Structure 1
Amino acid sequence: MNPVDVDGREAHPLLHHLVRDIASRGVGELTAVVHERHGGRLIRIAHIQPANGIAWSTAADNLGPVR
């Protein structure tokens, strides 16, 4: 896992690069990966902003680089 700051933001290697969400097949810029606690579990949530349209979130494990 990558380093996480005090606010729960992960220093992900693809941060501010184009990524593909394998769940939705959407492509956009990775703007943040945050760690959130849900029911005692730690969840890594990726936030993606497309060039045009509405941002979305997905599990960080769903990310892949755009080639």
Structure 2
Amino acid sequence: MIGPILQFEDLQQLCKPGESPRLSTVEAWARRCGIRYQYDGKGGIWTTATALDAALGVNRAAANSDSYPTDLF
């Protein structure tokens, strides 16, 4: 994790702790959980702590809105 950014390796650990799941597995997990993500330049995905909080329902304003604040990504 770099500041509020969760890198692909962080998402792999959240998806399947103790394993190294493939990109397709992590992407499917993120979609299922409603986590908004972007692709990185190394063949993985990344997200922010704010986006993860929104998917978990911690930040209801972002989770229930069609528009997202600029600090979400």
More strand by share: 1
TM-score normalised by structure 1 residue count: 0.26
More helix by share: 2
TM-score normalised by structure 2 residue count: 0.25
